[in-house]
Amino acid sequence: MSTNQLDKKSQAWSALFSEPMSELVKRYTASVFFDKRLWSADIQGSLAHADMLAAQGLISADDLAAIQKGMAQITQEIESGAFEWKLDLEDVHLNIEARLTQLVGDAGKRLHTGRSRNDQVATDVRLWLRGEIDEIGVLLTELQKALVDVAEQNADVILPGFTHLQVAQPVAFGHHLLAYVEMFARDAERMVDLRKRVNRLPLGSAALAGTSYPLDRERVARTLGFEAVCQNSLDGVSDRDFAIEFTAAASLLMVHVSRLSEELILWMSQSFGFIDLADRFCTGSSIMPQKKNPDVPELARGKTGRVVGHLMGLITLMKGQPLAYNKDNQEDKEPLFDTVDTLKDTLRIFAEMAAGITVKPEAMERAAKKGYATATDLADYLVKKGLPFRDAHEVVAHAVKEAIAAGVDLSELPLDKLQAYNPAIEQDVYEVLSLRGSLNARNILGGTAPEQVRAQVARHRARLG
């Protein structure tokens, strides 16, 4: 049996090199201690490649059986923690191939026929990311379900709706939460859509130019569940659009998490007092015993910057790279891995945290009464009496000014005061000026009326299964 060149890093490439790699360069260029998480995808891809090589007569049936047996043992070793990851072997691919060759000899050496680490790593990352996208989709569903549950429980609870962080109009708290469900639903749609572009097979592109071996790339694609094959070998090995696109979608998802976080933080503060978060999602102060800090949403808000930073890093990584593969692309993994980890951890914790939100309806309603939230309702009332909207707008502005001066709400102005601004105003105006009347009046598709909130809850429940 011939020697295993991969036993020594100095001989991993070929006999061309006359001196071993320096220890500093070895550490600088190695990726095994972060890309070893790709091991399962690497073995999957290798087994599919070996199956195709055997079907094409490029390796024997005995070689295929030996490779399959060796990979089964490697899988067991990795899962049990017995596998020895070697810095000398640089990455997950060479570590697994070296161990395979130790176990099965020449059959292990034949595995690399018709492929390069360039198309191998591109395949591994796509396989791994595809599985992560599927898991993220499940987590997004759980978060949406949790928010829908809270929205249904609070379909009638009045919250001051804000624009410019000023009280604008009353909305149902359930309606407000369903706005985030819409955001996360779009995030889920983006994940499903980009998965199609992740799910394309680069294997068979070899180093950059394809290969002279008669590979059946479509067979490998079917075996691995890829929807398509990369059609250009240069693009197949050098493309990282799929990683950038995923990180862009992840960044937008985290922006939505950050917006929700900001509101939870504000609502929980003593200045608002609209909600409370369960103690297990908060921390105290080392010096102030009265403090209960919303650390989870605060940290999620901070982690949003981390994920957006990874997007910028990946885009900058690819800027100006000539075709085809370059060592620069080793830098795609850590930001991609960290983005996935951050996203999954955040979604898990937010689904659980959202389910435990304690709502304080009285505080919300008191706040809604502070900002003349039904002023637009009075304008709409006058329009229905025949006044042009711009004129109605002016009339109400004067009424609000008087209410401010008197220190009362619009609904507390006497009827004769209101009629002084427009004689068409009648006793029924007080129903219009109530927070509940304002809420119920917006009973159109997409509106905040409790009836509409419940209809949207039903729609989301059907959509989420």
90: helix, coil or strand? coil
3 state DSSP class of 274: coil
CA distance readout (Å), 118 to 74, 115, 202, 359, 433: 22, 8, 9, 54, 68
DSSP states of 170-232: EEEHHHHHHHHHHHHHHHHHHHHHHHHHHSEE-TT-TTTT--SS---HHHHHHHHT-SEE-S-
Catalytically annotated residue among 60, 269, 285, 398: 285
Q: Rounded to whole angstroms, what are the CA distances from 170 to 365, 375, 437, 449? A: 9, 11, 10, 10
Packed helices 241-268 and 295-318: angle between N→C axes, nearest 10 degrees: 160
3-state helix, strand, coil split of the chain in percent (to 5) is 70, 5, 30
Q: Which two tokens stand for residue 230?
A: 């990369």
Q: Which two tokens stand for residue 336?
A: 């991609």
Whole-angstrom Cα distance, residue 223 to residue 201? 11
Say how many residues make up the chain.
Answer: 465
| CA dihedral sign of residues 139, 40, 307, 321 | negative
Tell me the CA distances in angstroms from 298 to 308, 340, 356, 444, one per residue in order: 16, 19, 17, 35
- What count of other Cβ atoms lies within 10 Å of the Cβ of residue 302? 11
The half-sphere exposure of 316 on its side-chain side, counting CA atoms within 13 A, is 8
Q: Any idea which residue has 């199956």 for tokens? A: 51
Catalytic status, residue 40: no
Amino acid at 373: A
Closest C-alpha to 39, from 78, 66, 77, 9 = 78
Three-class SS of residue 401?
A: helix
d(C-alpha 406, C-alpha 323), whole Å = 73
Rg (CA), the chain: 31
Active site annotation includes 60: no
Residue 160, phi then psi, degrees to nearest 5? -70, 120
Distance CA 263, CA 200 (A): 39
CA distances from residue 372 to 38, 103, 186, 187 in whole angstroms, order as listed:
58, 78, 34, 35
Query: Which among 18, 164, 271, 286 is annotated as catalytic?
Result: 164
Instruction: Give catalytic residues, as residue numbers.
Output: 164, 285
